[in-house]
Structure 1
Amino acid sequence: MVEKSRIPDISWKKWGPYVSNREWGLVREDYSANGDAWNYTTHDSAEAKTYRWGEEGICGICDDKQLLVFSLGVWNKKDKMVKERFFGLTNGQGNHGEDVKEYYYYLDNVPTHSYMKMLYKYPQNAFPYEELLQKNAEAGKQNPEFELIDTGIFDQNEYFDIFIEYAKASQEDILVKITVVNRSSNDAPLILLPTIWFRNTWSWGYDGYKPQLSSGSENGMMIDHREVGIKNFYAKNSSTKAFCENETNVKKLYLQPNLAKFCKDGINDFVVNGNSSAINAEEKGTKASFIIDETISGNSTRVFEFRLSDQSFDEPFRDFDEIFNLRQKEADDFYADIQKGISSDDEKLVQRQAFAGMLWSKQFYHYNVEKWLKGDPAEIRPPKSREEIRNFDWKNFNAFDIISMPDKWEYPWFATWDLAFHTISFSLMDPDFAKQQLKLLTLEWFMHPNGQLPAYEWNFSDVNPPVHAWAAFRVFKIDEKLNGKPDLEFLEGVYQKLLMTFTWWVNKKDSNGNNIFEGGFLGLDNIGVFDRNMDLPNGERLEQADGTSWMAIFALNMMRIAMELALYNKVYEELATKFFEHFLSIADALDNMGESNFSLWDDEDEFFYDALSAEDGTNIFLRIRTIVGLIPMFAVEVIEDEIVEKLPRFKERMDWVLENKPELAALVSHWQVKGSESKHLLSLLRGHRLKKLLERMLDEKAFLSDFGIRALSKEYEANPFTLKLNNIDYSVKYLPAESDSGMFGGNSNWRGPIWFPVNSLIIESLQRFFFYYSPDFKVECPTGSGNYLNLDEIADFLSKRLASLFLKDENGKRPFNGQYPRFQEDVNFKDYILFYEYFHGDSGRGVGASHQTGWTGIIAKLLQPRLSKLEIGEAQTKSPEAQKNPIQKN
């Protein structure tokens, strides 16, 4: 298969969709005194301000160093500016936080980006910038977001569907097809501005080398950069050319004299205002556009063709259609192979767009914290307050990489635990990239010297759930199944760095040394009664059921990886033993906290809760039923007897611990009680507790929705949870969609919606438990229905509910599309899938970031038939040849 054979050749990935959808309003572009990133650079100033760390565009591509960028600009002759970037609200402008206000869809992509396709819906009337700002400002937290479709701008079909497709003839020979469809019955004007520019690397005082774009043949431009292989840009259609510089318009933004004669917004000024002095008449610069001024007839389609190439052509479009057709066929063949176990065409459509969204969401990410804090030699020195601004203690951090983003508009910066989920989906189509992403965050210029992994750009020191080891082993096993051999170098390399991370957690997040962990926010935002990062006034501590459980999961993951590596290098047996014992200690602490042996499992309610621990040693439960209480379910590992017998030192020590500390074994482990096919279980849950958690989780009056597991029990809809602490009243109510709290920026909401990362871990945990228990271990599902299913059947039951968010129901509607008839019924909308950040706990409509194909992209994995037992980490029988030690040999 052609595409699959190309994937290992990294040169095919040199060019890709690595351009952010938003660079304004980001921490790394913020040089303010107070860290107000949203207001330091804004949407409207972005057209005139040169960025320091990256570039943005619509449907853009660039090389892996982002030296040269291609993107599309459009103008309908009514907007106040050329549409060069997607518009959205800042965190303070939206009634539920930041929010992109455009409609664009990722339709296709392959790992080498040799074929890519996406769609942008561009209104023919003036874009309603002010209305969107005003209506959202007027709306309160109780109101939903006011969206672009609510303005009525699409009501008369007065918009263009603009399809952007790329096909690579070779690694640096890229064909671009722009197909414009006028959905209106009326003729409409449109100016297309396919644009190329150099990221500004010359203005900061390090290297003054300045590349140049210039006019070539009648419909061509020449590209001259010492590090860029592409030298020519061709347009098939006759067009005007315009050149300016990627330099800040200082006069426009700051009322100071311009240093450059032609500025970044010069082409916009020429097109919109007719200002010919804004562009260079000599046709050279560092930013350039073809200007194609057309009237598109009603209900008609026009195709425009372009080519970026490392070659010179007399006839650059002679083989254009042939190459496009070939790359499209290769993409179809590639996905036909991946999807051969899926029978439903609708499931294939959803999965392929999920994969496309994952691949389109790769981004060039550049951020050197030390330089950012100090400022650049050629720029004004930042204020002294920046010495203690966010990330000041991460001076080692220096990223210059292609990274999978959660959402290239709302979250155009990596997040460590999001990325772990991304890699699971990537492993199905490009396991090499999945492994590279996991390894990246453990490198010295990402990981803090103390072992902490960076959380995300807004605060690298925040704490994400430690799921890196889980993801690494999952990707390792999937890769082994797909490629027929284990990548031990990858697994061992990541593992050795994660030893440091585990130690950081133990030293920093176990303040009492009692194996109860206070991780804080842990990715669960405002699910708690109060901000879980806050210091409580009388010295109380929040003892977290999820923080402790995440560390139990981490210990189990580290144990399991050590056991795998020990099959090839016996040194790792001792580490497997270390993490086995550490898991038992954490599990013991969860049930026997402090001198009073207080347990985070409430025997009365039969559920796990956070607890407040006072300085006098007393503890009280925070009896609110949230997914925090379900997370202990994730700490489960099933080991086959066969693998234990191959690790005699581990087995000897394990037997000693279980014999001499039987209270630990009895508390958490069925190790000595072999399950089906001689398997051993390590878990925080015995059968009774598991059934009790599932009883609540599968209750449709509590956690179970038609579309998955809610983050908060629905019982709090009519009767909110309340707590009085230190004379302050706290309350938590079930909110199935948007938050009514400004905590964590307002659009963060774990108080009721359905989130894919936790749901996917629930499903995997059930599959693991099933692997140990026989099919006779059954639970009522849904609770109260009288219908009993085994744990694997429940996992499938939940997978189908999650998938139903995107799939057509019996009425042909997709629940994520919500209440808008156009999205549900219009043939030009209804089969385009958006992978939202989270989903309404009752109706299933999409909420939050609309392109978070990152962790929501794991739907691609849920739709995929399971490869084998190997996927969830069980050992395979290994031949004597496979038992040789390649690690030591190498």
Structure 2
Amino acid sequence: MTEEQQRQQAAREGKADWHRFGPYVSDRQWGTVREDYSADSQPWTYTTHDMARSYAYRWGEEAIGGICDNQQLLCLAPAFWNGQDAILKERLFGLSGPEGNHGEDVKELYYYLDNTPTHSYMRMLYKYPQHAFPYDWLVQENARRGRYKPEFELSDTCIFREDRYFDIFLEYAKAGPDDLLLQITVHNHGAQEAPLHVLSQLWFRNTWAWGTAAYQPRLSAPAKGSIVVEHSSLPGLQLYYEQPEGLEAELLFCDNETNARRLYGATNSTAFCKDGINDYLLHGQAAAINPARQGTKAAVHYQLTVPPGESRVVRVRLAAAGLAEPFADFAAILNQRKAEADAYYLALQTGIDSPDARNVQRQALAGMLWSKQFYYYDVAEWLRGDPALPPPPASRWQSRNHTWPHLNNADIISMPDKWEYPWYAAWDLAFHCIPLAQVDVDFAKNQLQLLCRDWYMHPNGQLPAYEWKLEDVNPPVHAWATWRVYKMEKKQRGQADTAFLEGIFHRLLLNFTWWVNRKDRDNRNVFEGGFLGLDNIGVFDRSAPLPTGGHIEQADGTAWVAMFALNMMRIALELARTNPVYQDLASKFFEHFLYIAHAMTNMADQRIDMWDDEDGFYYDVLNAPATGRFPLRIRSMVGLIPLCAVEVLDMDTLQDVPRFVHRLNWFLDHRPELAALVSRWQEPGKGQSHLLSLLRGHRMKLLLRRMLDEAEFLSEYGIRALSRYHLEHPFVFQREEGVNAVVDYEPGESTTSLFGGNSNWRGPIWLPMNFLLIESLQRFYHYYGPDFKVEYPTGSGRYCTLLEISQALTQRLTNLFLRNADGQRPCFGQDRQLQTDPHFRDYLLFHEYFHGDTGCGLGASHQTGWTGLIAKLLQPRQQD
């Protein structure tokens, strides 16, 4: 057992709270729904990047590479000033949704390089230009560009030309649970010496200004060498700062309070507002900082001059009071934690021979661990407003999320992307838990349990989607993730946590009931569900009323619920091993699955199926008053999702559940029209197993013929979200006289404004859907075995087993990140600096999705959340 694993065990057993402090500070808090108190529900304009330095947040904090405790009472993070910028670099800059020509987007270069599960060692890199940061240029050029042009990125400004930038490495190490070391190493890559102001900022989240709590903590510096932390929940802490020869530290204090004069022309509650350090340092306003050296925000300020090609180091330590020589063992502790992190990943990556692959996986997992965030949102309190502030407008009670007053979140949660998506999303979180379980299965289990708590789940059984619209509908993959994490823990630890499985199962019974009662409009086992996460994949916004009237019978919505039913059946069968009562529930979910399978292939009197045998594909069906029912013939991921509804039951499982088997045999004997839909239930497969699937062998081969065709879905780097067929053959729907809605193949950024235009399901490659398809092929192989082969790629004349195809798809996906024979990483696209510069080429970004033809990374640049699944795909399969 490595040292890091021993710390994990100590935390699990309650012996040491190694998780009390971590990277739980958001990359962005401005522009979030939580901070929006507007009358018109416009988060992007209620708090902006320009306001952020002066605005005291209500619900959370933001920083560059910041850490805090697990209730975010105290935060520590660096800040920088290159002597050229108009504002102190305390936070990452990016465009709001309306500002970006493809939606919101961070315009910085930063990388999460290393992290351990207990955050005993963490490392990230921030690239800071030596020229003035081009804030205005980025805003103006992206505003000028339309949706048919690519985003204008920081690297496009040529600000890194001639290497006029700093590489700033942040390293955190823990000497103990409450003893944290921060080392900031600044490298000057330019040809001339360059000045840089480096600040280590310490501040309290503002918990006192809202009229809900009177207690106010304090930071002070009664003596040289440290800042004293006075907080009733964090007793005895001090921030020690180093005073190396020739480098004088300056202490700056202000208050984490809004500068109401600057923002609103109103009276301030303090003379030393949140932006006081910024105003003192950049504008020489001595009155902006507290001469008494006390407040709720403080900074240790160093002014460096870094020679060309050299580096400088700044160190601080947050630890218990009374350390006589806080920096005597600093280097030894930092080096030890780094070595322990190396040992931990060496053990984890057994079987991965390629150094490049190990680097990719380690950075993917680092991004997963860095993307934890303290997420605080009490909807009832948010709707009411705060006693110390003017009440919100009456319209607020009918605004965003007003039907979720029970939701009260204050937890450490895995974020999709702490800048672009600094809020959890139900289906994102389920995917996050798979790579997270590789390194911290306890945290993965905690995440799955959180969304099922009473203060998260709606009383009607719905899971919260995301803060922009809690009532929206995400694909029901929670049961799938629960089962996967359960099996991963059983493999890792040699024992099963059935209490975890049983607890979530009971909560998901409520969620399944919600789906059946709310999303099956005509009680025919045909489900809608809204947009289901696949934002702009269709001709309509499926989460809004249709312009045609009527509704869409969704192939993906119905398949998702079929998959949900099979997942619940499988969990019930596992629980039935020790409690026979679950056999009846397993039977119930088996029957649900059959009724859904029947509905997908027999749309009764209208004779219009979701399945089209001539095309060999599933389509959504539009049910409109004026036109009746007809299929929307769009070859998209919607039609591939039925592949994911598959389960294989082997004889070892079935022999333990005789009542379940008896009920199944009775049901199939007495419902022959349903039994015919099950893929050869009566015919045992490889190893005496039985298959439950929406697709029999014939249909599966037809569907795979489309999916594995390089002229359609199969890209060099995975499965596209939309068939390339629509490049030459767009789908056109006449919405009204002279007005058409069109779906065509878009391999890169979206050209539609639907859902803000910041994501695109009309052609690019998405990791989570590819991951599900790969797993489904593996399950099909478990039943069919090596004798069942499919042409791969379509038209090649080469036939492969389903296992071989799953492995080939895995290789295509991992090739997105790995260097090819030319030394290029496809995810970097045509960016020469990223591809060849030694200070860029081995630092990875994990994008939201990837260009359907070139593999270039697109969308949110730090979507380690579900793109972190690449860490699982890189792991040898036998270790699962």
Q: Common fold, TM-score beyond 0.5?
A: yes
Q: Which residue of 2 aligns with 1:91?
A: 97
Aligned: 1:641 with 2:651: yes
Q: Deviations over 1:20-44 (max 9, x none)?
A: 0000000000000010000000001
Q: 1:827 aligns with which of 838, 841, 858?
A: 838
User: Residue in 1 aligned with 2:414?
Assistant: 404
The corresponding residue for 1:50 is 56
* Counterpart in the other structure of 2:217: 211
Say whether 1:863 aligns with 2:869.
Answer: no
Q: Does 1:319 align with 2:325?
A: no
2:759 paired with 1:748: yes
Pair 1:65-2:79 in alignment: no
Q: Which whole-Å CA distance do the structure 2 matches of 1:44 and 1:599 have between them?
A: 53
Map residues 519-538 of structure 1 onto 2, 5 A cutoff: 519-538=529-548
- Name the structure 2 match of 1:389: 399
- The equivalent of 1:760 in structure 2 is 771
Please state how far the C-alpha of 1:341 moved relative to its aligned partner: 1.3
Of the three residues 180, 191, 195, the one matched with 1:185 is: 191
Matched, 1:570 2:580: yes
Alignment match, 1:838? 849
Task: Establish whether residue 155 from structure 1 lines up as the match of residue 155 from structure 2.
Answer: no
Cα distance in 2, alignment partners of residues 230 and 718 from structure 1? 68
- What TM-score results when the alignment is normalised by the length of structure 2? 0.98
CA 1:537–1:78 in 2, change beyond 3 Å: closer, same or farther? closer
How far apart, in 2, do the equivalents of 1:376 and 1:5 lie?
44
Q: 1:425–1:860: 8 Å Cα contact kept in structure 2?
A: yes
Partner Cα distance (1:726, 1:442) in 2: 43
**Structure 2 match to 1:786:** 797
Aligned to 1:801: 812
Cα offset for 1:593? 1.8
Letter in 1 for 2:151: E
Deviations 1:319-342 (A, max 9, x none): 111111111111111111110111
8 Å CA contact retained: 1:89, 1:98? yes
CA shift at 1:260, angstroms? 1.1
Q: In structure 2, the residue corresponding to 1:27 is in which secondary structure?
A: coil
* AA aligned opposite 1:450: N
Q: Is the 8 A contact 2:608 2:631 kept in 1?
A: no
Contact 2:848 2:867 in 1 (8 A): yes
Distance 2:614 2:91 in 1: 55
Q: What corresponds to 1:266 in structure 2? A: 276
Contact 2:606-2:629 within 8 A present in 1 as well: no
**2:23 is equivalent to residue 17 of structure 1:** yes
Query: Residues 416 and 425 of structure 2 are in contact (CA less than 8 Å); yes or no, is this contact kept in structure 1?
Result: yes
Letter in 1 for 2:815: S
Asked if the contact 1:481–1:867 (Cα under 8 Å) also holds between the matched residues in 2, the reply is no
Task: Tell me the equivalent position of 1:225.
Answer: 231
SS in 2 for 1:516: coil
Pair 1:229–1:614, CA change in 2 (3 A)? same
Residues 210 and 389, structure 2, Cα contact 8 Å, conserved in 1: yes
Contact persistence 1:104–1:120 (CA under 8 A): yes
Note the C-alpha offset of 1:537.
4.3
* One-letter amino acid matched to 1:37: P
TM alignment of 1:286-365, pairs within 5 A: 286-365=296-375
**Corresponding residue number in structure 1 for 2:251:** 241
Deviates more, 1:56-65 or 1:315-324: 315-324
In the alignment, is residue 710 of structure 1 matched against residue 720 of structure 2?
yes
Deviation of 1:627 after TM superposition, in Å, equals: 0.8
Distance 2:698 2:236 in 1: 64
Whether 1:39 aligns to 2:50 is no
Distance in 2 (CA, whole Å) between partners of 1:125 and 1:661 is 74
1:718: Cα distance to partner? 2.4
Q: 1:668 deviation in Å?
A: 2.6
Which portions of structure 1, spanning 4 or more consecutive aligned residues, are displaced by more than 6 angstroms?
A: none
What residue is the counterpart of 1:883 in the other structure?
none
Matched position secondary structure for 1:533: coil
Give per-residue Cα distances to partners, 1:741-785, cap 9 Å, x unaligned: 000011121000000010000000000000101211111111111
The answer for the alignment partner of 2:670 in structure 1 is 660
Structure 1 partner of 2:503:
493
> Aligned equivalents of 1:78 and 1:725: distance in 2?
53
Gap change, CA 1:372 and 1:34, over 3 Å in 2? same
Query: Which deviates further from its counterpart, 590-599 or 232-241?
Result: 590-599
In 2, distance between residues paired with 1:97 and 1:617? 35
Kindly indicate whether the alpha-carbon contact (under 8 Å) linking 1:173 and 1:311 is maintained by their aligned counterparts in 2: no
What residue is the counterpart of 1:4 in the other structure? 5
Instruction: Give unpaired runs (5+ residues) of structure 1.
Output: 872-890
Structure 1 residue 466, shift from structure 2 partner: 0.2
- What secondary structure sits across from 1:526 in the alignment? coil
Which of 436, 439, 452 is 2:449 aligned to?
439
User: Which amino acid counterpart does residue 528 of structure 2 have in structure 1?
Assistant: E
Residue 725 of structure 1: CA displacement? 3.4
TM superposition shift of 1:160: 0.3
Q: Would you say the 8 A contact 2:472–2:543 is kept in 1?
A: no
Q: What is the DSSP-based 3-state SS (H/G/I as helix, E as strand, rest coil) of the residue aligned with 1:527? A: coil
Tell me if the contact between 1:74 and 1:83 (Cα under 8 Å) persists in the aligned partners: yes
Q: Deviations over 1:694-728 (max 9, x none)?
A: 11111110000010000011111123111223434
Structure 1 residues 659, 209: closer, same or farther in 2, change over 3 A?
Answer: same
| Aligned residues of 1:591 and 1:597 also touching (Cα < 8 A) | no
Among 781, 784, 791, the residue aligned to 1:773: 784
> For each residue in 1:270-317, what CA deviation from the matched residue of structure 2 results, as whole angstroms up to 9, or x when unmatched?
100111100000000000001101111111011111100024212101
Shift of 1:229: 4.2
SS of alignment partner, residue 877 of structure 2:
coil
Does structure 2 conserve the Cα–Cα contact (< 8 Å) formed by 1:164 and 1:176? Answer: yes
Give runs of aligned pairs for residues 80-119 of structure 1, distance below 5 A.
80-119=86-125
**Aligned amino acid, residue 630 of structure 2:** I
1:534 to partner: Cα distance: 2.8
Alignment partners' CA distance in 2, 1:287 and 1:175: 19
Secondary structure of 1:363's counterpart equals strand
Letter in 2 for 1:670: R
Distance 1:669 1:616 in 2: 37
Cα separation, 2, equivalents of 1:613 and 1:314: 76
CA distance in 2 between partners of 1:470 and 1:224 (Å): 45
- The answer to whether structure 1 residue 736 and structure 2 residue 747 are counterparts is yes
Equivalent residue of 2:797, what SS?
A: coil
**Structure 2: where are the runs of 5+ without partners?**
12-16
Counterparts in 2 of 1:107 and 1:216: CA distance versus 1, 3 Å: farther
The one-letter code of the counterpart of 1:151 is T
Deviations 1:161-212 (A, max 9, x none): 0000000000000011111000101000000011000000011111111111
The alpha carbon displacement at 1:235 in A equals: 1.2
Task: Tell me the secondary structure at the aligned position of residue 53 of structure 1.
Answer: coil
1:613-624 aligned at under 5 Å gives the runs: 613-615=623-625, 618-624=628-634
* Cα distance between partner residues in 2 of 1:230 and 1:370: 35
CA contact (8 A) 2:415 2:423 kept: yes
- For the residues of structure 2 that align with 1:515 and 1:494, how far apart are their CA atoms? 24
Counterpart position of 2:14: none
SS at match of 1:28: coil
Q: Which amino acid aligns with 1:766?
A: L
Q: Tell me whether 6-15 or 768-777 shows the greater mean CA deviation.
A: 6-15
Q: Post-superposition shift, 1:367?
A: 0.3
Deviation of residue 663 (structure 1)? Answer: 1.9
2:407 and 2:455 in contact (8 A); partners too: yes
Quick one: which amino acid aligns to residue 445 of structure 2?
Answer: K
The more displaced of 401-410 and 620-629 is 620-629
Amino acid at match of 2:731: F
